[in-house]
Structure 1
Amino acid sequence: MELTRRTFLHGAGAGLALAVTGAARTGWTATTLNLGSAELTTLSDGYLVQPRNFVLGGMPEAEYMPILRRHGLSPEEFRPECNVTLFRDGDRVVLFDAGSGSGFLPTVGTLPEAMDAIGLNPEDVTHVVFTHGHADHLWGVLDDFDEPFFPNAKHMMGRVEFDYWFDPDTVNRIAPTRTNMAVGAKRRLDLLADRITLFDDGEEILPNVAARMTPGHTPGHMSFEIRGGSESVMILGDAVTNHHINFERPEMGSAVDQDRQMGADTRVLLLDQIAHAQMGVIGFHLPQGGIGRVERLGDAYRYVPETG
């Protein structure tokens, strides 16, 4: 796995780009690596703004505060990046997730500008593969006129995840704080239903791309293992949602997961697998473009970003 390029926005000439991409906090547009003959690029869709309880609710303060201090973070607000993965292999141009679009938060929805910055048009995308149905991963699939933003793409989602969000009763069963997520997902999946191909855990959904069921964040959340020769990279989606507590205390249930215990159990197994296999990782909410590796530290782990 060779990191080939990280594109930074800096200096006086970058002012406009910073304004339109939402990248002023991190100063990056895209990070690219080679995996065999394929190329993986993360594109910035901006960043989220998450209040304390959304991330830390239910966690013991005495256990998470030392971790946050080590990372120089305040517990009052988190601003995780949103990294959409672009996979180019031969004639396939694949996006893993579609970003937020324009209807979610003002700090996200910058994927179209990031694509434009690297010369990629929505019509060029051949496949859109979803990790799960939350707004920052799904809502960008439609344009402002409710037409598919990627008109030529085959859309793909795990069967369990699709069934969960497509079920009209999900909005009545989900936590009240997530009702908007359910309404938004259902509306988009209704409009896209005839375009979506479903797949199951363990399937090779595309050449060298295998689906890995990683539930807990949502009931049918999927990660994806991409292989190139003797190397591999795991696209994590939101199976791991931060670079601090999730790595140092993966067994600690997170408030961002719909099923806290299942999310923690999944995270423990996933990080163990990745560290043992020395796989690269791409995290939707990991810093500096989200491309890096996992190091084991006793019973805990550390995220190490690729720096180029």
Structure 2
Amino acid sequence: MVTTTAFDRARLSRAPRVRSLDLGGLTVTYVPDGLVRLKPGGWLPAATDADWARHRDHLDGDGLLVAGIGALLVERGDRAMLVDAGFGPESRPDDPDNPLLGKLYGGGLLDSLRGLGRDPERIEAVAITHLHSDHLGWAWSNAPGRDAPPFAHAAHLVAAPEWARRDLAGDPRLAVLEPRVRPVEDGEEIFPGVRASFAPGHTVGHTAYTITGSDRRLIAFGDALHAPVQVTHPEWSCGIDHDPVESARHRRRLVEELSRPGTIGYGGHFADVVFGRAEPGPGGRFGWVPVA
């Protein structure tokens, strides 16, 4: 282990729950939608059996990585936006022939939002990190009992290079989004205190969002990292990364950034440790330490 700060390490393999942080003038909240269990051999193919033996606490009882699926609610006073939109009201069973994914399901996001006192109609924008279905579900799925998605009234913000190459996603449902998409540029402020930052690698236009309050900043890094163990091993690229070399290069820079004072990370797939920081440890490696 490289982390020196104690926490309940059972959280590394536990389904995430609602968690919030006050950044000073801004509140950020993880809003659950569903869950997927990732098969480590296919998802992080550079990791060996010996590696997983050393990091066994990152795996559940079936030897899988637990990855939450949800959205980040960003609130400033009465105003609110989301980063990503969950998987939506779908589920897929485990396919033994699929080397990447186990059981996958969503559908809880709208109820989670209402439980926080935030109706979907009061979301003014949805910022998308990248065009994969587990980040877009409620952007194209109709709300229950209605003939439109719950955020159809809101701008959907997508990095210009990601939207320009949306053909790479290969999903015809993206046509539903097109009337609502507003392409954004690198460094653009999309909401008070929230800026887009292009971070290609996982996809061609993958985007992080830096959220700055009066005393801290949070980097919502999307799928630049899928699991806390990659903070320790940023060289482990995901099996579906568009450019594994570029994604590893970006992860190394990101981990260094997440170790700086006043900087917090948000990993939407990070089991029950979605908010945290990178803490230096032995051998020049880092470990993920939750802060909420």
Q: Report the TM-score range of the alignment, normalised by the length of the smaller protein.
A: 0.7 to 0.9
Per-residue CA deviation, residues 143-201 of structure 1 (Å, 9 max, x unaligned), is: 34772321321111101111111x3xx3xxxxxxxxxxx343x422x222121111111
Q: Which has the higher relative contact order, 1 or 2, with Cα contacts under 8 A spaced 6 or more apart?
A: 2
Query: For residue 161 of structure 1, what is the amino acid of its counterpart?
Result: E
Partner of 2:264: 280
Does structure 2 conserve the Cα–Cα contact (< 8 Å) formed by 1:287 and 1:305?
A: no
Taking the TM superposition and a 5 Å limit, the aligned residue runs for 1:65-144 are 65-69=52-56, 71=58, 73=60, 76-105=63-92, 107-144=105-142
**Please, which of 206, 218, 241 is the counterpart of residue 233 of structure 1?**
218
Per-residue CA deviation, residues 238-273 of structure 1 (Å, 9 max, x unaligned), is: 1111011x1111123331422211111110011112
**Please, which of 9, 12, 15 is the counterpart of residue 26 of structure 1?**
15
User: Closer, same or farther in 2 for the Cα pair 1:285/1:248, shift >3 Å?
Assistant: same
Q: Distance in 1 between matches of 2:113 and 2:290?
A: 22
1:215 pairs with 2:200: yes
User: Closer, same or farther in 2 for the Cα pair 1:94/1:158, shift >3 Å?
Assistant: same
Query: For residue 115 of structure 2, what is the amino acid of its counterpart?
Result: A
Q: TM-score, normalised by structure 1?
A: 0.78
Q: Distance in 1 between matches of 2:111 and 2:155?
A: 22
Does structure 1 conserve the Cα–Cα contact (< 8 Å) formed by 2:36 and 2:69?
A: yes
**Please, which of 35, 39, 46 is the counterpart of residue 47 of structure 1?**
35
Query: For residue 112 of structure 2, what is the amino acid of its counterpart?
Result: A
Q: Distance in 2 between matches of 1:131 and 1:61?
A: 29
Q: TM-score, normalised by structure 2?
A: 0.82
Q: Distance in 2 between matches of 1:230 and 1:37?
A: 9
- Alignment length, in residue pairs? 264
Hey, which of these two has a bigger chunk of helix by percent?
1
Does structure 2 conserve the Cα–Cα contact (< 8 Å) formed by 1:209 and 1:227?
A: yes
Q: For structure 1, list consecutive stretches of 5 or more residues without a partner in the other structure.
A: 1-24, 171-181
Partner of 2:190: 205
Q: For structure 2, list consecutive stretches of 5 or more residues without a partner in the other structure.
A: 1-13, 93-103
Per-residue deviation, 1:60: 4.5
> Kindly, what percent of the aligned residue pairs are identical?
29
SS of the counterpart of 2:221?
Answer: strand
Q: Distance in 2 between matches of 1:288 and 1:227?
A: 23
Per-residue deviation, 1:36: 1.1
Does structure 1 conserve the Cα–Cα contact (< 8 Å) formed by 2:274 and 2:290?
A: yes
Pairwise CA RMSD of aligned residues? 2.2
